[in-house]
Chains A and B, each alone.
Chain A
Amino acid sequence: MSHDTLPRPHPRPPRPEKTGGDPTGPPPPRRRRHWTKRPNPLAGLGSLVWLVIVIIPIYAMLSASLTSQDKALSGNPLRPPTSPTLDNYNTVLNSGFGHLLSNTVIVAVAVVGIVLVLCVPLAYVAVRTRDRWSGLAFRVFLLGVAIPAQAVVVPLYLLIAKLDLYDSLLAVILPTAAFAMPVSVLVLVGTLRDVSEELYEAMALDGASPQRMLFQLAIPMARGGISTVVIYAALQAWNGFLFPLIFTQSDGPRVLTLGLFNYVSQFGVNIPALLASVVLSGIPIFVVYLVARRALVGGLMGVGGK
């Protein structure tokens, strides 16, 4: 804040807590000055290094996706494109991108729905019911976090084939939802635990049933955890690769991640088109991020619990 030294007429009154350049040795006398406000030059430098690491691949991707294929091979991808073109994006959009996208959206919505409908009552029981079985169920989910999806893919393949679901969107939706459940239950249990016993008692005094307590107390109080679960489950569905790879085959139920993977052979050496498909695949989530960054980031932070 050193550039504020010149006495300029401020359009609004200067905020007093920012002007202080007081040394940060003893405990700050004013409550306003939070510890997290101290500058840290070394960390600032480190963060700039990380910024470069994050930005360069993204920049190279954007720049290359706007370059025509013949120019891409001769030029340096770090230089901005001399004659930017949207041809690569056209190529991708004409290769069934919309279909892949809508499949992925369907999968994500279905997974979120299943996870919420199953996990909210489950977590509510785990927190509110003290009986041997609910404790056991909770412990199963605690361990479920550690079951890698890879490990069950062979038997699931068998199961999906027996259920006659092979090569359908359901074959992707059902296992993806199941594997999003453990973390979702843990997050929800973490939030529901914080609803105080007194509130339940107050509702009980009014003669509320457990159902009413769930819908009028627990769910509204656990909004934070629920939004975390929505985001987490949607991302699991959005990013899922192994289940679509093994449980689907034809174009019909193909989702975005698998579509991208197929572009590798389809576009061959046309790397700019491949990168354009990567950019396009990121745009929907990027839009969500722009519109609802707080909700998205806050929700994901909730996976860490308290």
Chain B
Amino acid sequence: MSAPTPTKTPAGSPAGENGTPGGSGGSGRPLKYRPSGAGKASTVGRPHAAWALPGVLFFAFFAVVPLGLAFYLSFTSWDGLGDPKLVGLDNWQKMFDDDRMVQSLWLTVLLTVVSWVFQTVISVLLGVWAAGRQRNRAVLSAIFFVPFLLSSTAIALLFYSLLDPNFGVIQKNILGSSNGAFLAIVFVGAWQFIPFHTLLYQGGARQIPEVLYQAASIDGAGRYRQFYSVTLPQLRNTMTTSTVLMVVGTLTYFETVLILTKGGPGTDTAILPYLMYEAGFKSYDFGYASAIASFLVVIATGLSLILVRLTGFGRMRSTREGM
């Protein structure tokens, strides 16, 4: 890298003059020395920030504003007709007093944790295995991917049919027992999403430089030691992405629950998104539904922030750091 001198010279070249429409002022003090990476920034034509505006406005209109509205509605009472009436903290009060809500929260946490453990363990193992270039691995990986080609609605219907005791492969009424229904949801989610997460880990594992394994085997590390000390740490960023997608995905499991169990038996699989759907679009209590929704956002955002902080993903740190 040619750091020191060229910071100044291109500014005097013709490109420097017509190449900075934003006129960010950087060219006014050409001698200012910046750390590498940010250096030379002002010398090259850069797009105006306004280019981002359509996208930002669109997203704001359909996602950020509704999000704000959801919080607002959570302080109102509204049945979908007429105007929402402000009721203060009533909905939130009701939420924390509601036994179904407490059960639902517990179920959601349990489902997220169990699904995460189950899916991550299998996806990491399958993904690292599939990263190998053997022919048989390639063929099997191609088959493993097939469930992901079906929509979650289709998959829920598939298992709804297969688990039907009158028809099914299994004669017992699995969906009729609380534990059975819960485990069925965990299994169906895993069956659907493991192919995708396996793919993420496969991609991640293939990017690990071979030289790390060579170094490890010089140090006498065997296969399992290498997996633990090289592969897993190198998959850190992949794991963050995969985990955030998994956690947010599980927090919004909806069609699987709606089709497989309708929250039942009783309310034993009524996780938060389902409870919200029932409150809003079955009982037309939009205020209460919005309180549940807001609560869901707080949990999802909080968890993602924690994950991103813990793993340093926000700084976009590379796993290759220090090499």
Contacts and interface: CB of A to CB of B under 8 A. Distances in A.
Interface residues of B, number: 119
Contacts, number: 336
Contact of B300 (A51, A146, A175): A146
Contacts of B22: 129, 131
Contacts of B293: 150-154
B96 interface: no
Nearest to A46: B125
A166 interface: no
B56 interface: yes
Interface string A26-51: 11000000111111100110110011
Interface string B5-28: 000001001110011011010000
A114 B62 CA distance: 13
A99 to B, nearest CB: 17
A38 B297 CA distance: 45
B51 A122 contact: yes
B304 A35 contact: no
Contact of B149 (A150, A185, A285): A285
A86 interface: no
Given A143-B301, A261-B259, A207 B133 contact: no
B69 interface: yes
Contacts of A119: 55
Interface stretch (B87-95, B99-107, B173-181, B212-220): B212-220
Of A47, A155, A257, the most chain B CB neighbours within 10 A belong to A155
Contact of B48 (A25, A55, A210, A241): A210
Interface residues on A, range: 35 or more
Interface pairs A-B: 8 shortest CB-CB: A178-B62, A155-B69, A301-B203, A118-B55, A304-B200, A152-B66, A146-B304, A122-B55
Given A130-B41, A204-B44, 19 more contacts: A37-B133, A40-B132, A54-B191, A57-B191, A64-B167, A121-B47, A129-B49, A131-B22, A145-B245, A150-B273, A150-B296, A151-B67, A178-B62, A207-B14, A239-B152, A260-B151, A260-B153, A271-B167, A302-B203
Interface of B: 10, 13-15, 18-19, 21-22, 24, 38, 40-41, 43-49, 51-52, 54-56, 58-59, 61-67, 69-70, 73, 122, 125-126, 129, 131-134, 136-137, 140, 142-147, 149-154, 157-162, 164, 166-169, 191, 196, 199-204, 206-207, 210, 213-214, 217-218, 223, 237-238, 241-242, 244-245, 248, 251-252, 254-255, 259, 273, 276-277, 280-281, 286, 289-290, 293-294, 296-297, 300-301, 303-305, 308, 314, 316, 318
